Amino acid sequence: MSKVISQDTFDEVVKENVIDFSMTPSEAKEETIKQFEAQGINLANIIKDLAINNETGRPIINETLDKIKTLISQKSEDTQQLLELITVLDLECQKSLAHRVLAGKNGAHDALITLLEQTLQETEINTTLLCKCLQAANSLSQKQPDLFDAEALSIVLKLLALQDQQLDVTCLTLQWLQKACVMHEMNRQNIISSNLLKLTKALLRKDNPRVVREMTAVLRFLVLDDDIRVEFGCAHEHARQIANELLLELVQLLPEYEDVNVLSDLLLTIGTLAVRQELCTLIDDAGGLKLIFDIMKANLNQERLNREALKLLRALAGHDAVKAHIVQQGVAPIIKELLETHQANENIVSAALACITTLTLRVQEHSAAFFETGIAEIIVETLRRHPKHKIVQRNGAWAIRNMVSRSRNQCESWLSFGVEDLLNAAMAEHPSVAQDIKAALRDLGCKVQLREEWTGKAEKKIAA
C-alpha cells in the first residue's frame, strides 16, 4: 500500500523550499513533488496547482482566509481591504472543486456567514460588501451543497427580506440558494420548511425580470430528486406545496413579459410544478391555455420557448378534461405551423411529435382535429428529413399510431405519402425502437412481422 501525506505537509515543504532555498513557487512545487515521489508517496490527494505567495511560501488561499478571519474578529472598519481579500478568495474558489474543498476545510464558509451577519447588523448596509461576500459564497458552494447550513439559511431569509431595496443582493442570494439545492435533499427540505415561499410571493412581480428568472430557477431546483444519499425524496410533495402557494402567480405573470428568456423560464417552471390533476385544472381555469397559445403564436421562431411550451402542454394533457380543452381551443394549427417552421430542428420536431402523441391518445376527435389541418404530410416529411435521429423516428411512429389507431379512415392518406417505406427504413436503422415502429405499421394496416416474446407449454391443458 502506497503512503500518503496531508495537504498541510505538502504545503509546508513547499514553504521551506521557497524560504530556505530561495526557490520560485513553481520551482519549489516541482522540487517538492520530486522529493515525495522519490520516497514512494502517492500525491493523488494533493492539490499541486495552488497559487503560492512569493515571499512567505504559503498558499494564497490559506493566507487570504487567515487575514479575513483576523479582520472579522477585530471587527475592522477597513472595508477596502476586506473587499480585496474576498475578491482573491472568490477567484481562488473559481479555479476548481479541489480549491473550494480546501477553502471549506479552512473555514471559508463560517467566515463569510459571520461577515454577512455583521454587515446586515450595520445601520447603513454596505451593498458592495454584501455582493462581494455573496459572490464568494456562490463560488465556494458550487458542487459543495453540504456547506449550506441553518445559519446560511437564516442569512438568506434576511437578505431576501430586503427585496427590491437591493436587486443585485437578491439575485446573488437566489443563486446561492440554487447551488444549495443541487444534489442535497435535506437542504431542499429545510428551505421548504422555512419562510421562503411567503417571501417569494413579493418577489414575483412584472417589474423584476432578473429576480423572476432567478426565483423560478430556485423553485425548479427545489423539486429535484438527485440526492443518491436518501432513499426517498420529497420532490412531489415540494412541487405540490410550491404550486399551491405560487402557481397562480406564475400563470398571471405570463402576459406581463415579452422577453423570450423570462417566458421560457416561466413555462418550464409551470410545467415542472403541474404534477397533480387539480393543478392542471387550476392552470386551465386561470386562462393558462390561451396565454400559452398566444405566446407560441407570437414567438414561432423561438426554439427554447416553444420546446418548453410543448412540454408544458404535454404535462397539462395528463388531465383528460384539460387535454380536451387544449385541442378544442385550437392547438393543432399551432403545432402544425411549428413543425413547418422548425422542420430542420430535431429538438423542436421531437417535442412537437411527442405532444401530438399525448393529445391524440385514445381520442378519435382529437386525431381528426389534427388530421384536418393537413399535418399528416408534414409529419411524414419530418421523418424523411431525420432518418438518423432515433428519437424523432420513435416519436413520429408514436404520433402516427395514436392518430390512426381509432381512425382507420386516415390510413390511405398516410400511405399515399410514402410513410410505410420510411417506417420500414427507420426500423432497420434503429432496431432499439423497432417495436414502436411496428405498432405504427400494424395500425396503418401494413404487413409487419410481430415477434412472439414468450412461448411455453402449460403444465395442464386448458379446457376448451
With cell 479541489, the residue in question is 98
449: pLDDT strictly greater than 90: no
pLDDT value, residue 463: 63
Does 455 have pLDDT greater than 80? no
Q: What is the DSSP letter of 108?
A: H
pTM exceeds 0.85? yes
**Domain coordinates of the chain in residue numbers?**
1-58, 332-449
pLDDT at 452: 67
Q: What is the DSSP letter of 4?
A: E
Check whether 168 has a pLDDT greater than 70.
Answer: yes
pLDDT of residue 458: 64
Averaged over 359-372, what is the pLDDT?
96
Q: What is the CA radius of gyration of the chain?
A: 30
Reported as a single tens digit per residue, the pLDDT across 48-65 is 889 998 888 999 999 999
Position 462 scores a pLDDT of 60
Q: Which residue from 397, 398, 389, 298 is spatially nearest to 345, judged by alpha carbons?
A: 389
CATH superfamily of 332-449: Leucine-rich Repeat Variant (1.25.10.10)
pLDDT for 460: 73
- Of the pLDDT bands very low, low, confident and very high (cuts 50, 70, 90), residue 44 is confident
pLDDT over 60 at 464, yes or no: no
What is the mean pLDDT of the segment spanning 19-32? 89
Among 424, 413, 430, residue whose Cα is nearest residue 446: 424
Rounded Cα distance, 342 and 345, in Å: 5
Place of cell 463560488: 139
Residue type at 6?
S
Q: What is the mean pLDDT of the chain?
A: 93
User: In this predicted structure, what is the pLDDT of residue 453?
Assistant: 65
Q: What proportion of the chain, given as a percentage, has pLDDT over 70?
A: 96
Contact 103, 110 (CB under 8 A): no
Q: Is pLDDT above 90 for 442?
A: yes
Average pLDDT for residues 29-36, to the nearest whole number? 90
- The pLDDT of 252-278, averaged and rounded, is 96
For residue 301, is pLDDT > 60?
Answer: yes
Instruction: Quote the pLDDT of residue 165.
Output: 67
Q: Which of 134, 64, 209 is nearest to 126 (CA)?
A: 134
Average of per-residue pLDDT across 304-325: 97
Residue 418 backbone zone (phi > 0: left; psi -120 to 50: alpha; other: beta)? left
pLDDT at 3: 84
pLDDT per residue over 185-205, tens digit each? 999 999 999 989 988 888 888
Q: What average pLDDT does the segment 85-112 reach?
A: 96
Do the bridges between strand 3-4 and strand 41-42 make them parallel or antiparallel, or are there none, so unpaired?
parallel
At 21 the three-state DSSP class reads coil
pLDDT band at residue 308 under the 50/70/90 scheme: very high
Q: Which of 304, 312, 227, 310 is nearest to 275 (CA)?
A: 312
CA 199, 200, 201, 204 dihedral sign is: positive
> Using DSSP, how many helices (H) and how many strands (E) does the chain show?
26, 2
Task: Kindly list the distances between the CA atom of residue 226 and the CA atoms of 229, 234, 422, in Å, as whole numbers in the listed order.
Answer: 9, 11, 39
Distance CA 296, CA 56 (A): 61
Q: Which of 105, 117, 27, 119 is nearest to 65 (CA)?
A: 105
Greater model confidence, 178 or 29: 178
Residue range 111-148, pLDDT digits in tens: 999 999 999 998 888 999 999 999 999 999 999 999 99
* Percentage of the chain lying above the pLDDT 90 cut: 80
Determine the average pLDDT of the residues in 420-445: 95
